[in-house]
């Protein structure tokens, strides 16, 4: 099948699948990650655009945290869809690998060493992380916190600055802690030059937000 057609079909498939998703992990998140990835890829001439497009579109098709921690459902759904649409097996395998490895919590596993990552995975990790910071990152964090009925802040619960992957998955801390446990760490985890530049501006915006938040709440971490 022609690349353009398979991308169009994938867009339709993902829109339908995420129809009722939490607003931080819905089609609009996918669209932003796709656009971020395209921007970064424009400065990375060796990247394979079909892999990046399919990876961006399918990376949150069934996020483990909405499926009792099951990390196999997303890759299985993607495998079935891509297979039915006769995508080349080697492309399918790379896309499945990306879905498994893209997430922040999986980069907490130290075996995921930077050198070994493909350029397509680096671009997609950067694109996904960019959507977790800045104004949109703030919106997503409070949306997720609301979805989980978490308080905005709690003076009694300090952030844990060295969470392991298991602790991160189990964390039920107030939403403001998530800035210290994840969001403020992301700019130093970017792989590409373009991603780093985009992250810097969004990072500064979060710092400004936090300062104002403390002024208005008389609460400080």
Rounded to a whole number, what is the largest CA-CA distance in the chain?
Answer: 58
Q: Residue 23 belongs to what H/E stretch?
A: none
Smallest gap from residue 171 Cβ to ligand ADP (A):
5
* 126, interface contact from ligand ADP, Ni ion, none, CB < 5-8 Å by kind: none
Region from 11-19, 56-64, 91-99, 110-118 binding Ni ion, contact rule CB under 5 A = 56-64
DSSP letters, 32-65, are HHHHHHHHHHTT-TTS-HHHHHHHHHHTTTT-GG
Count CA within 13 A, CB hemisphere, residue 176.
19
CB of 214 to Ni ion, least distance (A): 28
State yes or no: residue 128 binds Ni ion (CB under 5 A): yes
CA dihedral 191, 187, 162, 165 (to 10 degrees): -50
Q: What's the closest the beta carbon of residue 59 comes to Ni ion, in angstroms?
A: 5
Nearer to ligand ADP, 78 or 87 (CB): 78
In eight-state DSSP terms, residue 189 is: G
With CB under 5 to 8 Å by kind, the binding choice for 104 among ligand ADP, Ni ion, none is ligand ADP
Nearer to Ni ion, 44 or 128 (CB): 128
Choose from Ni ion, ligand ADP, none: what does 175 bind? Cβ within 5-8 Å by kind. Answer: ligand ADP
């Amino acid at each position: 099948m022609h690349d353009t057609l398979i991308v169009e079909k994938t867009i339709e498939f993902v829109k339908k699948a995420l129809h009722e998703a939490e607003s931080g992990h819905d089609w609009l998140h996918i669209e932003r990650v796709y656009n971020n990835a395209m921007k970064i890829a424009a400065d990375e001439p060796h990247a394979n655009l079909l892999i990046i497009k399919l990876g961006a579109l399918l990376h949150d098709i069934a996020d483990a945290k909405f499926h009792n921690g099951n990390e196999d459902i997303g890759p299985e759904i993607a495998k079935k869809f891509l297979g039915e649409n006769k995508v080349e097996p080697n492309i399918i395998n790379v896309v499945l690998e990306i879905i498994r490895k893209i997430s922040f919590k999986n980069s907490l596993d130290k075996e995921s060493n930077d050198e070994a990552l493909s350029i397509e995975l680096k671009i997609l990790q950067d694109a996904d992380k960019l959507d977790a910071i800045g104004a949109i990152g703030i919106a997503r964090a409070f949306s997720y916190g609301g979805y989980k009925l978490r308080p905005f802040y709690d003076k009694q619960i300090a952030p844990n600055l060295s969470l392991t992957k298991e602790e991160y998955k189990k964390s039920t801390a107030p939403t403001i802690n998530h800035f210290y446990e994840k969001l403020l760490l992301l700019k130093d985890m970017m792989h590409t030059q373009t991603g780093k530049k985009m992250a810097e501006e969004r990072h500064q915006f979060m710092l400004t937000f936090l300062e104002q938040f403390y002024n208005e709440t008389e609460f400080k971490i």
